[in-house]
Structure 1
Amino acid sequence: MQLRNIAIIAHVDHGKTTLVDKILHSTNVFRSNQETGELIMDNNDLEKERGITILAKNVSVMYKDVKINVIDTPGHADFGGEVERVLKMADGVILLVDAFEGPMPQTRFVLQKALNLNLKPIVVINKVDKPNCRPDEVHDAVFELFFNLDATEEQLNFPTYYGSGKNGWFNDSLTPREDILPLLDGILEHVPQPKIAEGTLQMQITSLDYSTFLGRIAIGKVTRGKLVENQPISLVQADGTIKKSRVRELYIFEALGKKKVTEVYPGDICALVGLEDFGIGDTVADFENPEALPITYVDEPTMNMTFSINNSPFFGKDGKFVTSRHLRDRLMKETEKNLALRVMDTDAADSFLVYGRGILHLGVLVETMRREGYELTVGQPQVIVKMIDGKRSEPFETLVVDVPQEFASKVIDLVTRRKGEMLIMETKGDMQHLEFEIPSRGLIGLRTQMLTNTAGEAVMAHRFNEYKPWKGPIPGRNNGVLVAKEAGTTTGYSLDKLQDRGSFFVDPGEEVYKGMIIGETNKPGDLVVNPNEGKKLTNMRASGTDGAANIAPKILMTLEECMEYIQQDECIEVTPNHIRMRKTILDEEERKKYQKMLKTEEVG
């Protein structure tokens, strides 16, 4: 049977998952009367809510008697580890580029990986129906990008298709049509059949799946030899250990699901049941003469956060899993399938240091755990500092901001205050395109400030660049916080009286505890306040009414916004129903003593 393996890569929001939808519909995967909805591939709750792809996924379609395995990849820089490993399964890539925005930093990052693996590229310029779009300029920019990434002569000669995924057409010219068949024909024509090497069995595990019935499932592409049900095999692990095992069941991808088969031929992507203790990058090889494939190395993490058990007064009210053993087991389980994540023990038995690729990467992990019923406390995200050539060095990132021209000066001011340096400034239509180099520390909390200062118009993207010498202190949050003085229930009377001191993260009638952060002050410096005071009632009638208290609604913050907001001495309590910010040391006197001790140490 003829085969094509293709990965779809693009920057976040350029339309990868929508394109996969159209491929599925065009190849009649669904019955004509079947309700499918949109963004079929984003089947995880978090993906649906955020409108982003987090996990790479496989589907396969049949077109003109050729099986096409399609791999949908995440576009966000924090999930780059996910993309790097799945590209190993593909023989060609569709590079999807927005007809207005053009190639973005993440496009460059993923394309570099694809070109290094010598994959055949097809360029698709999407959203040509948008106003202000500039498909010809974007085509030139993509060519320039390929050239800068040292693409080979053959790779530079890439075919280009134009269209609109939303309106369901793609063509090799700008003429609109009814379907995406020219693109499917292009895949058959330009993407090579998988190369089959001679020799014994080899399959590298590039992804994992889990089923409550079958246990852990290994997914990868059979590069040579063939796999048969019940066949004895050797599992060659990353450290060179060889384990003997047996294939219990085999599945290939068919449409949106898996189909059980008795054998898998080289070049096809399959799922394998029956292996134990395997990791990503391990090789399934011949029983008698095992030969390993080179291991996939994933870029190092750039940020870490402390995860510890929930030790607030509200401990155990919401969650099912609250002990350090639960927390440890869950984090270790996550490292098995999340390649860019590392977990390390700390001096405290109930705290763990978790390393990841960025705030979104770590935030998605915390959000997933919270939905599974875990209670935990997470600290402020910190960048990972290394000593390089005797100098203290920190990670730097390339930051790209597209913003209306009237806000450009505010953006430049914000980024330069956080030690960013401007590299490029150019006009794209009525938008200003700015590129900076900025320490990763400077990005923490930047998105919220950027959106506030640009009336929500700024579009920002960033990706890790390299380690460079430490840039010095970066100013943090400008204002202090309002901290609850004692436990109790907030009252409208009390909050009304405190309104001139700042804005609140709580509403009247909410349970609070001593040391919990309940709002932000109007000026620098923290303030300990009592939000629980009730009105003193007398038997004299007052002329006013209690109903006249006009309290502004509380500020709602997402988990990522809280992670960017907190300072060194603060943390976030995360439970299935609540996200609360608090001081790490709850008692005010203890906090003062600790601050004094720190100052003494600094002076000493």
Structure 2
Amino acid sequence: MQNIRNIAIIAHVDHGKTTLVDKIIHATSVFRDNQESGDLIMDNNDLERERGITILSKNISVMYHGTKINVIDTPGHADFGGEVERVLKMADGVLLLVDAFEGPMPQTRFVLQKALELGLRPVVVINKVDKPNCRPDEVHDKVFDLFYNLDATEAQLDFPTFYGSSKQGWFNTSLEQTEDIFPLLDGILEHVPAPEAKEGPLRMQIVSLDFSSFLGRIAIGKVIQGSVSESEWIGLAQEDGKIVKGKVKELYVFEGLGKKKVTEVKAGDICAIVGFDKFQIGDSFVDLENPQPLPRTAIDEPTLNMTFSINNSPFFGKDGKFVTSNHLKERLMRELEKNLALRVEPTEDANTFLVFGRGILHLSVLIETMRREGYEMTIGQPQVILKEIDGVKCEPYESMVVDVPEEFASKVIDLATQRKGDLHIMETKGEMQHLEFEIPSRGLIGLRSQMLTATAGEAIMAHRFVDYKPFKGAIPGRSVGVLISKSQGPATEYSIAKLQDRGKFFVDPGEEIYAGMVIGEQNKPNDMVVNIVEAKQLNNIRAAGKDKDGNIAPKILFSLEECMEYIQGDEAIEVTPNFIRMRKKVLSEEERKRIERGAKA
């Protein structure tokens, strides 16, 4: 067992995890010399490559000096903490990657805390020492303080540190540049303990799953005790305590970027088992004669919820393949199997489901994935989950860190305090101001886009969930109203030009719109219904092209997350494979007025 090492790479978003994994893959010659590989090898789905973040944890294995190193690449964003919490169970050590300029960030703290609680042995890697203004020694001291604050053990506090640059492909125990990353790989062999080879009946927990159209569902996990062989009859211990008997049809271990078929896997190695269909993440494979299931992973509670319902706009079914409530329900149930931090509850309306998640990004990635698969749906405004603790109404709070140029610091503080945020730390980092706030999760919804506007796009913002604390009262929402379409049809240049002084538009001339759709932002606080499908009436004197108005401002383009943060309680988002449209929940103007009168009465 001495020749296996299981390591997880953890870090804040954008600190260079996936680039480091690329360098490990290249340094250990996983690819042939003439084989094309490209960059960000592990971020292999389209959404990860587009956003430049890791969303799903992945396994690879490399051989170095006769030792097999199983590497687990984990997400860095706290919204995907559910992924991190379960896959860390496969590791015996962690590589904590920290940016030499930014130092430990909120999500560094989040994933490190989970690793230390599991008793994993840390190796600290200070990355990007080639950046200007970097401060590796100061960052090293901050990492030590972070370990101390997280109640690390004496052994964990005695962590080895490596310095270098993933991009340039070198790491060393000092700041002296080397030719390659072999000093880091030597450090992994030296400092990360080999997995314990526990004798006894089989114990293996399923922490991840895969699917193959040939093999069906594949269970992935680390064999904690005993061994498992191909064609062996074993038990699957489920959540309700039942043990289901089944046969191991095929058995795989990870090799390079793929899997290799084997006949037996012993304790300490990570493997994939084929042969069981009805399993969930958290279930255990056990010996039939002496079953000893492993305790299930406790996942942090979700903090946000949103309604997912069928698309009921006039453009229903024009764009997507999956449009019914049954399609929606089946897809959400399928997501629950692998997305542990997600929860789905039915509502009184059979066409609507309440979906709970870790944050805006967590839910938007699910919506974006479903939309690309051909689903149409209507999404409601994100709401934070309130709890009653000891008779007191409480809400989730987050720690928010903002790095911003000094001249914009006062604007950031003003925006955060308007949303009930308290400033705890203010210090100078090079040319930047480093600000730390404690703020209700409600206050974060819509804050990022406001902050980027106020700081000319210079603010770098990150946050993580802290705890539930007493409710802080009303938080001001959107300060302006919206422009709502009065009728259905293509938007005309003539009508948009006439209404330019009323606000900014979200649609271009020629775009198909419908009554009740949000088509722009009003300059004033109230909503306004406008007709932008009206065409110019031409008579026999005027020439058709004479009055073309070329002074129309370009439309404001919103991403899915920006739409989720922008809408109010009476609004929704229509999501289809090719369009994202904001709309009023009640499309009819008369109906909206009737509801308003009823609310006042």
| TM bucket normalised to smaller | over 0.9
What amino acid sits opposite 2:167 in the alignment?
A: K
Displacement after TM superposition at 1:395 (Å): 0.5
| Displacement after TM superposition at 1:197 (Å) | 2.1
Match of 1:362 in 2: 363
Please identify runs of 4+ aligned residues in structure 1 that moved more than 6 A.
Answer: none
Structure 2 distance, partners of 1:598, 1:181, is: 69
Question: Does 1:401 pair with 2:416?
Answer: no
Contact 2:494 2:548 in 1 (8 A): no
- Alignment check: 8 A CA contact 1:237 1:282 kept: yes
- Residues 1:344 and 2:317 aligned together: no
TM-score scaled by length of structure 1: 0.98
* Alpha-carbon separation, structure 2, partners of 1:121 and 1:541: 77
* Letter paired with 1:57: K
Which residue of structure 1 lines up, in the alignment, with residue 428 of structure 2?
Answer: 427
Post-superposition shift, 1:546?
Answer: 2.4
**How far apart in 1 are the matches of 2:184 and 2:413?**
41
Match in the other structure for 1:268:
269
Counterpart in 2 of 1:473? 474
Deviations, residues 213-245 of structure 1 (Å, cap 9, x unaligned): 211111000011111011111111122221111
SS where residue 295 of structure 1 aligns?
A: coil
Q: Please report how far the alpha carbon of residue 542 of structure 1 lies from its aligned counterpart in structure 2 after TM superposition.
A: 6.3
Q: Is the 8 A contact 1:493 1:549 kept in 2?
A: no
For 1:7, the equivalent position in structure 2 comes to 8
Structure 2 residues not aligned, in runs of 5+: none
Answer yes or no: is the 8 Å Cα contact 2:426–2:435 preserved in 1: yes
Are the aligned partners of 2:497 and 2:549 in contact in 1 as well (CA < 8 Å)? Answer: no
Where do residues 534-545 of structure 1 align in structure 2 (5 Å cutoff)?
Answer: 534-541=535-542, 545=546
Provide the C-alpha distance between the structure 1 equivalents of 2:404 and 2:296, rounded to a whole number of angstroms. 41
For 1:587, the equivalent position in structure 2 comes to 588
Aligned match of 2:151: 150
**Equivalent position of 1:55 in the other structure:** 56
**Distance in 2 of aligned mates of 1:542 and 1:36:** 59
Q: Distance in 1 between matches of 2:599 and 2:11?
A: 47
Using the TM superposition, give the Cα deviation of residue 31 of structure 1 relative to its aligned residue in structure 2, in angstroms.
1.0
Deviation at 1:256, TM superposition (A): 0.4
- Cross-structure match for 1:442: 443
User: Structure 1 stretches of 5 or more lacking a match?
Assistant: none
Counterparts of 1:112 and 1:269 in 2: how far apart (Å)?
Answer: 23
Q: C-alpha deviations, 1:304-326, integer Å up to 9, x for none?
A: 00000000000000000000000
Aligned to 1:214: 215
The amino acid across from 1:313 in the alignment is P
**Superposed displacement of residue 521, structure 1:** 0.8
Matched residue type, 1:255: G
Indicate the residue corresponding to 2:505 in structure 1: 504
2 CA distance for matches of 1:591 and 1:329?
32
Q: Which residue of 1 aligns with 2:378?
A: 377
Q: How does 1:557-572 map to 2 (within 5 A)?
A: 557-572=558-573
Measure how far apart 1:199 and its partner are: 1.4
Question: Do structure 1's residue 487 and structure 2's residue 491 form an aligned pair?
Answer: no
The SS at the match of 2:548 is helix
Deviation of 1:266 (Å)? 0.9
* Inter-partner Cα distance in structure 2 for 1:73 and 1:115: 15
Equivalence for 2:27? 26
Q: Deviations over 1:372-399 (max 9, x none)?
A: 0000000000000111111111100000
How far did 1:522 drift? 1.1
1: CA distance, partners of 2:598 / 2:131: 59
Residue identity matched to 1:342? R
CA contact (8 A) 1:481 1:526 kept: yes
- 2:388 aligns with 387
CA distance in 2, matches of 1:304, 1:14: 29
What do the CA deviations read for 1:92-130 (whole angstroms, capped 9, x no partner)? Answer: 000000000000111111111111111110000000000
Matched, 1:133 2:134: yes
Letter in 1 for 2:120: L
Counterparts in 2 of 1:294-313, with a 5 A limit? 294-313=295-314
Does the 8 A contact of 1:92 with 1:119 survive in 2? Answer: yes
Counterpart position of 1:116: 117
CA distance in 2, matches of 1:487, 1:547: 22
Compare 26-35 and 546-555 and name the one that shifted more.
546-555
Letter in 2 for 1:518: I
Contact 2:128 2:165 in 1 (8 A): yes
**Match for residue 90 of structure 2?**
89
Checking the alignment, whether the CA contact within 8 Å between 1:227 and 1:263 is kept in structure 2 is yes
**3-state SS in 2 of match to 1:37:** coil
Q: Aligned partner of 1:287: which letter?
A: L
Q: Which amino acid aligns with 2:437?
A: F
Deviations 1:24-50 (A, max 9, x none): 000000111211111000001100100
Structure 1 residues 544 and 6 mapped into 2: Cα distance closer, same or farther (>3 Å)? Answer: closer
CA distance in 1, matches of 2:177, 2:198: 41
Superposed displacement of residue 132, structure 1:
0.6
Letter in 2 for 1:54: I
What per-residue deviation string (whole Å, max 9, x for no partner) do you get for residues 247-291 of structure 1?
A: 111111000011111111110001111112111111100011111
Compute the TM-score of the two structures, normalised by the length of structure 2.
0.99
Q: CA deviation at 1:547?
A: 2.9
1:168·1:180 contact (CA, 8 Å) conserved in 2? yes
Distance in 1 between residues matched to 2:514 and 2:542, nearest whole Å = 33
Could you list the per-position Cα deviations for residues 28-79 of structure 1 after superposition, in whole angstroms to 9, with x for gaps in the alignment? Answer: 0011121111100000110010000000000000000000000000001100
Task: Give the length in aligned residue pairs.
Answer: 600
Q: Which residue identity does 1:247 align to in structure 2?
A: V
Secondary structure, counterpart of 1:437 in structure 2: strand
For residue 543 of structure 1, report the CA deviation from its aligned partner. Answer: 11
Give 1:204 deviation, angstroms. Answer: 0.4
SS in 2 for 1:547: coil
The residue identity in structure 1 corresponding to 2:176 is T
Tell me the alpha carbon deviations over residues 118-147 of structure 1, each in whole angstroms, 9 at most, x when there is no partner.
Answer: 111000000000011000000000011111
Which residue identity lines up with residue 284 of structure 2 in the other structure?
T
Residues 424-483 of structure 1 show CA distances to partners (whole Å, capped at 9, x for unaligned) of 111111111111110000000010001000111111100001001111010001111100
- Supply the AA of the counterpart residue of 2:425: I
Q: Secondary structure at the match of 1:546?
A: coil
Per the TM alignment, residue 331 of structure 1 is displaced from its structure 2 partner at its CA by 0.2
2:532 alignment partner in structure 1: 531
Post-superposition CA distance 1:171-197 (Å, at most 9, x none):
110011110000000000000110122
Distance 1:537-1:296 versus aligned 2 partners, 3 A rule: same
Partner residue of 1:180? 181
**Distance of 1:38 and 1:166 partners within structure 2:** 10
Aligned to 2:38, what secondary structure does the other structure show? coil
Distance change >3 Å, CA 312–CA 62, structure 1 → 2: same
- Mean Cα deviation higher: 362-371 or 288-297: 288-297
Aligned counterparts of 2:132 and 2:309: Cα–Cα separation in 1: 49
Q: For residue 549 of structure 1, report the CA deviation from its aligned partner.
A: 3.2
CA distance in 2, matches of 1:437, 1:548: 49
Q: State the superposition RMSD in angstroms.
A: 1.0
Q: Distance in 2 between matches of 1:205 and 1:569?
A: 42
Distance, in Å, in 2 between the alignment partners of 1:524 and 1:533 is 25
The residue type paired with residue 479 of structure 1 is: V
